[in-house]
A and B are shown apart, each in its own frame.
Chain A
Amino acid sequence: MSQELFAWVADLVGRRSAIRLEPGKEYLVESRLGPLARERGLSVDDFVRRLRAGVAEADLVAVVEAMTTNETSFLRDVGPFAALRSHVLPLLRAAGATDRIRVWSAACSTGQEPYSILMALSDGTGPAPPVDVLATDLSDQVLERARAGIYSQLEVNRGLPAPLLVRHFDRVGAHWQVRAELRARVTFRRHNLLDLPPPGRFDLVFLRNVLIYFDLATKRAVLDRVARALRPGGFVVLGAAETTLGVHDGFERVEAGPAVLHRPLATPRVSTGSGPTGAVGSLSAVPTPLGSPFVVPAPTPPLPVVSAFAPPTARGVG
């Protein structure tokens, strides 16, 4: 694809999603837009040329959607899920987490991640620990899919153990739907990672395979915000190939069985202005009214269903 066409797509996606497609990501544009172009009987280049000539808004939305939707599957990179019950929860409890664990699945795409979290926690070896899962994404369209919890045969084939499939899904025609009781335990909400984090504090934030889309300054800004959204002792879970090294020096790496977690350092260093490249944009300097990461969380509206597990007393951090 020509530099000129790539630049046009990068600009469109950048303006609408804050995701930065740097030169070198041409392959990504080609592969993501390939299906849309083929549907229209066009090459990717011709498809982009036609878009540029000015056509339907719907096509532009479809392009941004295709460029920003996360590749995902159930239990993708199984480590963090395998470790949840055995390693991660005990660490959280040891750090004083309350009875109810709050998990934020950030950039949850079509919902495989939040459902995987719940499936991993209710593994049949005892009562599932009470967990609130908030799942957010930028795209209303993927959230709609996530809420419905309906997946194709191909999607459930990929990475979902058969015992979990039959335990948590029902066959609906040619598709599989997450059972209502599991769906009811996830709250889906639209959220832009560049905005302030959702209210309340979380014990765990899954932020996997999404930073890759951002430039360095934006990665830092997002990690800053996520650090502030964590309870003391809470962790961030990044993608298997991701690290905070060279991106944000306010985190330490913690191994928990098969999972690698990232914990904010007790006194977070200010990461703005002193990065290795010095190319820190305005985003990381956006003031965050939340201040210290360790302020007592504001009361949050209880999430449905799981709130039934909540003890009548303390919700605060001990």
Chain B
Amino acid sequence: MRALVVDDSRTMRRIVAGTLRDLGLETTEAENGAVALALLEDGLAVDLACIDWNMPVLDGLEFVTQVRARGWRAIALMMVTTESEQGQIVRALAAGAHEYLIKPFSPDALRAKLDLLGLRPAVVAGGAA
């Protein structure tokens, strides 16, 4: 199970990807929506994309719109962003995002979102080395 982490902040990418790996997923990182889209077009297969909102070149909302326009239905799309206004959540969902996780978040919250999305990694963190 692989997740694509799309965020222009290297630190944020490291945190999100690290948490996902702790939960048993493999990860690929992209620094903006355009890079992420190129990876997918090159055939990278992912089950989940965790997407920041504000990024240069191609922002998260536009990335979601593009993924939906291409009909890639197998990818669960989750915004992971500090944007927390109600209207923004509504916009992201309307554009086609499946879930919305507001930063900062706990590993528990991320795991709960994966459950909601039906993504149950084979390995679950929690004490195991």
Inter-chain contact B89/A165, CB cutoff 8 Å? yes
Interface contact B112-A154, CB-CB below 8 Å: no
Closest to A158 in B: B109
The reply to whether the CB of A292 lies closer than 8 angstroms to some CB of chain B is: no
> Is the Cβ of B105 less than 8 Å from the Cβ of A171?
no
Q: Is residue A184 contacting chain B, with contact meaning CB distance below 8 A?
A: no
Give the shortest distance, in Å, between B107 (CB) and chain A (any CB).
Answer: 11
Q: Of A73, A153, A170, which one neighbours B112 at CB under 8 angstroms? A: A73
* Interchain CB contact under 8 A, A154 and B106: yes
C-alpha spacing A158/B106, complex, angstroms: 8
Give CA–CA (A157, B85) in the complex, Å: 13
Could you tell me the distance in whole angstroms from the C-beta of A148 to the nearest C-beta in chain B?
18
A154, B110: Cα distance in complex, Å: 11
A163 to B109, CA, bound (A): 16
B22 within 8 A of A: no
Interface residues of B in 96-127 (CB under 8 A from A): 97, 99-102, 105-106, 108-109, 112, 115-116
Give the residues in chain B near A166, CB-CB below 8 Å. 86, 89-90, 93
Query: B116 is contacted by which of A154, A159, A169, A171 (Cβ under 8 Å)?
Result: A159
Contact indicator A157/B105 (Cβ below 8 Å): yes
Note all chain A residues with C-beta closer than 8 A to B116. Answer: 78, 159, 161
- Give bound CA distance, A157 to B111, whole Å: 11
Chain B CB within 8 A of A162 CB: yes
CA distance A120 to B106 in the complex (A): 24
Given A73-B112, A170-B86, A171-B86: A162 in contact with B106 (beta carbons within 8 A): no
B84: Cβ under 8 A from any A Cβ: yes
- Determine if B108 and A162 form an interchain contact, defined as CB atoms under 8 angstroms apart: no
In the docked arrangement, what's the CA distance between A154 and B85, Å?
Answer: 14
Contact B89 A159 (CB under 8 A): no
Q: Is the CB of B108 within 8 A of A158?
A: yes
CB within 8 Å of B: which of A130-179? Answer: 153-154, 157-159, 161-163, 165-166, 169-171
Q: Nearest A residue to B84 by beta-carbon distance?
A: A153
Residues of A within 8 Å of B115, CB to CB, are 78, 159
Q: What distance in Å separates the Cβ of B58 from its nearest Cβ neighbour in chain A?
A: 22
Contact residue among A153, A163, A170 (Cβ-Cβ distance under 8 Å from B102): A153
Tell me the smallest distance from the CB of A159 to a CB of chain B, in Å: 4
Chain B positions within 8 Å of A78 at CB level: 115-116
Complex interface: chain B residues within 8 A of A170 (CB): 86
**A165 to B105 alpha-carbon distance, docked (Å):** 16
* Pairwise interchain contact A158-B89, C-beta atoms closer than 8 A: no
Name the distance in Å between A132's Cβ and chain B's nearest Cβ: 27
- Complex-state Cα separation, A170 to B86, whole angstroms: 7
Q: Would B112 and A158 count as touching, CB distance under 8 A?
A: yes
CB-CB nearest 7 A-B residue pairs: A162-B100, A157-B109, A159-B112, A171-B86, A158-B109, A166-B89, A166-B90
Query: Footprint of A on B, CB under 8 Å?
Result: 84-86, 89-90, 92-93, 97, 99-102, 105-106, 108-109, 112, 115-116
9 of the cross-chain contacts (CB-CB < 8 Å) are: A154-B109, A157-B102, A157-B105, A157-B112, A158-B109, A159-B109, A159-B115, A162-B99, A166-B86
Besides A78-B116, A170-B86, 16 new A-B residue pairs in contact (Cβ under 8 A), listed by A number: A78-B115, A154-B109, A157-B105, A157-B109, A158-B106, A161-B99, A162-B89, A162-B100, A163-B93, A165-B89, A165-B100, A166-B86, A166-B89, A166-B90, A166-B93, A171-B85
